[in-house]
Structure 1
Amino acid sequence: MATFEPAYRRLLESGEFERRVSQAYQHLSICDVCAWECPVDRRAGRLGVCRTGLRAKLSSYGAHLGEEDPLRGWRGSGTIFFTRCNLRCQYCQNHDISQTDVGDEVEPEGLAAIMLELQAAGCHNINFVSPSHVVPQIMAGVYIAAQAGLRLPLVYNTGGYDSLAMLHLLDGVIDIYMPDMKYGDAQIARQYSKIRNYPQVNQAALREMHRQVGDLQIDERGVAQRGLLVRHLVLPNGLAGTAQIVGFLAEEISPHTYLNLMDQYRPDYRVHLIPELNRRLTSQEYAQAVEMAHAAGLHRLDERNHFIWFPR
């Protein structure tokens, strides 16, 4: 088995990584770190939509076995959960993490120590969850950890509302991009996640991610090493725009895109105020989503068992 070398090791050895970290931090001064482009001075403690200043805030970290099989393997994905997500999904199933102020602020040195701890625990990768608003801090942490011997693939696990400027700085740093494609319609995205121009921003980000890393590559052990893995949460009543999303992936990204069509939607958070989302997904709705993906030409669908609620 060939020895895997994560992309960021080459940047570290060339000296380019340090320059990238410095560039990323400059974006905090008039913040355009995520697609909101607020533009506040986070280095001076000003807060924008993400409510995050100079330091990233973590809710938890650890070996996570709930991810897709190519990520979790048999030892788990080394998952680091950031708080204060830059989305405002009204049905968020992690709202206790993403929409609250729980957790602890961490310096880059502390973030680096966590990565090295997860590596020592045997995790297959380092998985940054909700990273879009803290890219500079992540890059600084990875730079420190890489100097101390970090050698695991890095997973960028994002809601998909990402800045192209940050993605360009991450070129050669991130090995595996795992974006959500939440919506095919901008008005629906504004209504249910309080964000503007989501499909336009999201699709541009997907194009850039795929340009950098290509289709998902899985080694002989079944563990992902590099590439793009897309998640799409199927919503009741077709509100996620699944047909548009699978069509875009097949036609403009790659028919070999690894796609997890997720069926675990359940009414949560503020959904009691949104009648059209205030129920579980049905087996028929999920089956239709799978049929749409196949009809579009996508053939690499995540194969985990899906458990669907059957309405009486």
Structure 2
Amino acid sequence: MPQSFRTERIEEPALQGSAPLHCSASLRNGVPPPLQSGVGVYAPCVQCPRKCAADRKTARGLCGEGDALRIASACLHFGEEPPVTVFGGSGTIFFTGCTLRCAFCQNYQISQNGMGRAVDRTEFVKICRTLEDAGAENINLVTGSHAIPLIASYLKSAREDGLSIPFCWNSSAYESVETLELLEDLVSVWLPDLKTLSPELAKHLFGAENYPEAAALAVRWMIERFPLTLVQKTKDGTEKEKIERGVIVRHLFLPGRFSETADTLAWLKRYADGKALVSLMSQYTPVPFEESERVKRGAALSAIENRLVSEAEDTDLRDLIDAHDFEYLFYQELSDDTSWLPDFNRTQPFSNALAKPVWHWKTGFEV
């Protein structure tokens, strides 16, 4: 999760003349009937760009999940970008499973190792309402790409139960546009990653060579369908901006991979500047894996320099930001603090300064 940021904002006209989004025939004709109904989506499962075709009613897909919706933690989180956390914090729900297999994932316990438990519709709605009652500015849905049909159904139930705060979709962007359309009338704020535009690096680090193509299409779909809306909120004499609708595209700088970040920022300048917010993160932190995990991930991690970002790299990133002159960009201050790394075995996965838990997979609402 992002931590602390400084804001670069330049008051000038938004970028004009971006190329139009070219959709597939299936998208132009609407969402396919299996996705509309939810019938057959998991058997065989073809909803994400992997299209692994697993029968998730009886087995697990490459995402690691069956047909149940599993959650690891729910909390008020204060480490997102300022327009997301605002005053009350972001009501963050961490799902179990993931369509990617990032070798450096800080949330590997839940994204890859299966930590979490199944929740039904009633419990999911109660989690959302509990977060809202605790003061959450929004409901932040983290890494749910593998379960969009069921999540969409549960979000509708939460709205019908009276939930009024916005839904934020927080994902890797490794998603099919056809499946994302199930969320179009429910989600108003989108927080996608754009991890890399290099198929070679994506294959090595994520096990998904087609990530750049799929993610670029998904991000452009989000940007073109959800124009940016920022509003001013005031509390105790302090004024902050809140994103009510639109997209924040995130990119994590990988140590030793400056050229990939340069390519990604050039893409974002063309397609996102003036239409969405950009968040460049320098928080890369080596995860203290146990020896067995370290050995398993060793080959993949060899594609990057598995260390903290250096001061020289930080300077180069700042120069790159200045050269692109984005209208609105967040950039993290360089830090060697690693205390924010989560441990989802604990009922409080984060530090007390960063999050306030309301639900945990081991104890439910007893946190």
Superposition TM-score tier, normalisation by shorter sequence:
0.7 to 0.9
The match for 2:20 is none
Alpha carbons 2:132, 2:165 under 8 Å: kept: yes
Alpha carbons 2:95, 2:144 under 8 Å: kept: yes
Alpha carbons 2:148, 2:182 under 8 Å: kept: no
The match for 1:28 is 42
Using structure 2 for the length normalisation, give the TM-score. Answer: 0.74
- Write the distance in 1 (CA, Å) between the matches of 2:64 and 2:115: 12
Given the alignment, which residue of 51, 57, 65 partners 1:37? 51
The match for 2:14 is none
The match for 2:327 is 299
Given the alignment, which residue of 160, 183, 194 partners 2:196? 183
Alpha carbons 1:157, 1:178 under 8 Å: kept: yes
Using structure 1 for the length normalisation, give the TM-score. Answer: 0.86
Structure 1 residues 297 and 257: alpha-carbon distance in aligned structure 2, compared to 1, 3 A threshold: farther
- What pairs with 1:53-64 in structure 2 (closer than 5 Å)? 53-64=66-77
- What pairs with 1:65-104 in structure 2 (closer than 5 Å)? 65-104=78-117
- What pairs with 1:1-312 in structure 2 (closer than 5 Å)? 22-42=36-56, 44-215=57-228, 217-221=229-233, 222-238=241-257, 241-268=260-287, 269=289, 270=294, 274-275=301-302, 276-302=304-330, 305-307=333-335
- 3-state SS in 1 of match to 2:284: coil
- Write the distance in 2 (CA, Å) between the matches of 1:88 and 1:297: 33
- Write the distance in 1 (CA, Å) between the matches of 2:35 and 2:166: 18
Task: Supply the RMSD in Å over aligned alpha carbons.
Answer: 2.2
In the TM superposition, what is the alpha-carbon distance from 1:22 to its structure 2 partner? 5.0
Corresponding residue pairs, total: 289
Structure 1 residues 84 and 290: alpha-carbon distance in aligned structure 2, compared to 1, 3 A threshold: same
Q: Deviating runs (4+, > 4 A) in structure 1?
A: 19-22
Question: Percent identity at matched positions?
Answer: 30
- Write the distance in 1 (CA, Å) between the matches of 2:130 and 2:212: 37
In the TM superposition, what is the alpha-carbon distance from 1:26 to its structure 2 partner? 4.0
The match for 2:354 is none
- Write the distance in 1 (CA, Å) between the matches of 2:52 and 2:98: 14
Q: Unmatched 5+ residue regions in structure 2? A: 1-32, 234-240, 338-367
In the TM superposition, what is the alpha-carbon distance from 1:167 to its structure 2 partner? 1.3
Higher helix share: 1
Alpha carbons 1:182, 1:232 under 8 Å: kept: yes
Deviation digits for residues 149-169 of structure 1 (CA, Å, limit 9, x no counterpart): 011111100012111111122
Structure 1 residues 240 and 25: alpha-carbon distance in aligned structure 2, compared to 1, 3 A threshold: farther
In the TM superposition, what is the alpha-carbon distance from 1:46 to its structure 2 partner? 2.8
Structure 1 residues 240 and 191: alpha-carbon distance in aligned structure 2, compared to 1, 3 A threshold: farther
